[in-house]
Structure 1
Amino acid sequence: MAGPIVVGVDGSAPATAALEWAAADARHRGLPLRIVHVCEPWHGDGATEHCAQTLETAAGHARDLAPGVEQSTELLHGGVAGALVAESATADSVVLGSRGRGGFAGMVLGSIGMTVAGHAAGPVVIVRGPAVVLHGRIVVGYDGSEPSRAAMAYAIEQARSRDAQLHVVSAWQLPIYSPYAAAYGDLLQQAFQHQAQAARERLIPWREDNPDILITDEQDCEHPVSALIKAATTADLVVVGSRGLGGFASAVLGSVSHGVLHHVSCPVAVVRPREEAS
């Protein structure tokens, strides 16, 4: 989607890290940057002036970081989660810090970050802190499902814009066989080989359609969260799909995206397939 990259700011260090990530992403991908601050009702007297100053400070920092990027700002009112989910409808992606102050308190482990990641209409990137080391590597979890295909498409765009390697992780847990069953080890090995071959074959069209990107892959017989946590140690970004329904119909983060958000220290993108316009 050719909308802006929206970043929520609140003056905290994690929100500043999110702003820096979003500005760099906008520069890499040639997209406009939209900086928003949600001024909540409980902020009290002088809140509007304080919120406006927070927004202007963030905008100035972004101009310094990415002077050639088209930029806009807006002061929003109401609840943080609802405002940011609404922004996601017309955004390329929404970027948030992981542990902001005020309305962003408890981000990721708290309700705001999880709500936005779980209900946004498109990709949500959660940034825990400034990047210390860049690895030139994007990691994506892929199982062939519609959510993982959306994640793969986003990861490919990220890899291309950064001239980075794309590493695809396919992981699953095999059924538990009785240790007393005959040929127990052979059955496990055959099941793993079948799953691994299917995973490799699912990548063939992606490699054919994107010959300019170095795509590596691994197949693991373990829980996907564990596999992605290990792969994330040398990643600049981890991308996972979301199986949610969008809107506020239900709690929509699945176990994989939830687990990765809680345990991976590099930026994490949670990607949901966008609903087709009626």
Structure 2
Amino acid sequence: MVGHIVVGVDGSAPATAAVEWAAADAQRRELALRIVHVCKQWPHSESTEYCAESLEAAAARARELTRDVDVTSELLSGDVIDVLVTESESADSLVLGSRGLGGFAGLVLGSVGMAVAGHATGPVVIVRAPSALQHGRVVVGYDGSGHSAAAMVYAVEQARARGAQLHIVSAWQVPAFSPYAVAYSSLIEDLMRQEARAARERIVPWREGNPDLVITDEQLCEHPVKALIDAARTADLVVVGSRGFGGFASAVLGSVSHGVLHHVTCPVAVVRPRAKEES
């Protein structure tokens, strides 16, 4: 396991929430915490001073919330997306606020978070705001794809570290038939039963391999994004693969992960398998 979590900050409120989430995660999983601020090179020195001050404040907040966690910080320069993606290559996970300074206030997720979630290595956790309410449940979307398997590994680790329940959501949509094609009703019912059975069978190895966890599951015939949004209402963390079955192979971020990032309010982890996990 890679030994540190990276959190990117910019002085915004969501970035502060990301620092607090990352600090708690580092404490739970006994990992080091690295805080970075990618500072744009403006003509005036005041911008660099602001970056340094916000970085220092983030590090102080992390140290305030942890004990025996190695907290380091570094001011970096360059393209923020490229730098954060590079940081992810040597990190256990990368944590970001849902949107930073300079974006539209109404946006749920900023362009940096979306781009990094689609290109980073390993888990990227997007945090919108602090949460005082704890549900004791980690939700993971699973369809049997390689990306969802990587999501399951991370979700299992998170549930174990939190002493939380792991809830597995499998959802699918049946092919569209004409509403007048009554003859297809039995076929649709058969398809639903087959999908549900296959989904239950896929999670058996995960249940057997993690007997210490309380694992619940549900199989739903509805859009996966809606199923995960509903499950997220009582979740501390939602975990999805960066893409699953059914999407274009070249897509860096699938429609399900894209939809979950935009609509789920609790922290969301998007997991892209590392190169060795895809081989």
| 2:204 is aligned with 1:204 | yes
Partner of 1:66: 66
Task: Report the alpha carbon displacement of residue 43 of structure 1 after superposing the two structures with TM.
Answer: 6.7
- 2-side partners of 1:41 and 1:104: how far apart? 22
Partner of 2:262: 262
Which segments of 5 or more consecutive residues in structure 1 lack a partner in the other structure? Answer: 245-249
Task: Report the alpha carbon displacement of residue 107 of structure 1 after superposing the two structures with TM.
Answer: 7.3
- 1-side partners of 2:49 and 2:107: how far apart? 24
After superposition, what is the alpha-carbon deviation per residue over 1:194-235, rounded to whole angstroms, capped at 9, x for unaligned? 100110011110011100001100011011001001100000
- 1-side partners of 2:105 and 2:7: how far apart? 16
Contact 1:104–1:112 under 8 Å retained in 2:
no
What is the number of equivalent residue pairs in this alignment? Answer: 273
After superposition, what is the alpha-carbon deviation per residue over 1:115-169, rounded to whole angstroms, capped at 9, x for unaligned? 1001001110000000121100000000000000000000000000000000000
One-letter code aligned to 1:12: S
Task: Report the alpha carbon displacement of residue 189 of structure 1 after superposing the two structures with TM.
Answer: 1.5
Q: 1:139 to 1:80 in 2, by over 3 A?
A: same
Partner of 1:98: 98
TM-score, L = length of structure 2: 0.92
Partner of 1:228: 228
Contact 1:10–1:102 under 8 Å retained in 2:
no
Partner secondary structure for residue 234 of structure 1 = coil
Partner secondary structure for residue 216 of structure 1 = strand
- 2-side partners of 1:20 and 1:150: how far apart? 25
The sequence identity of aligned pairs, in percent, is 69
Which segments of 5 or more consecutive residues in structure 2 lack a partner in the other structure? Answer: 245-249
After superposition, what is the alpha-carbon deviation per residue over 1:17-51, rounded to whole angstroms, capped at 9, x for unaligned? 00000000001111110011111112732333322
One-letter code aligned to 1:274: R
Partner of 2:45: 45
- 1-side partners of 2:28 and 2:102: how far apart? 30
The 5-angstrom pairing of residues 73-222 of structure 1 reads: 73-102=73-102, 109-222=109-222
TM-score, L = length of structure 1: 0.93
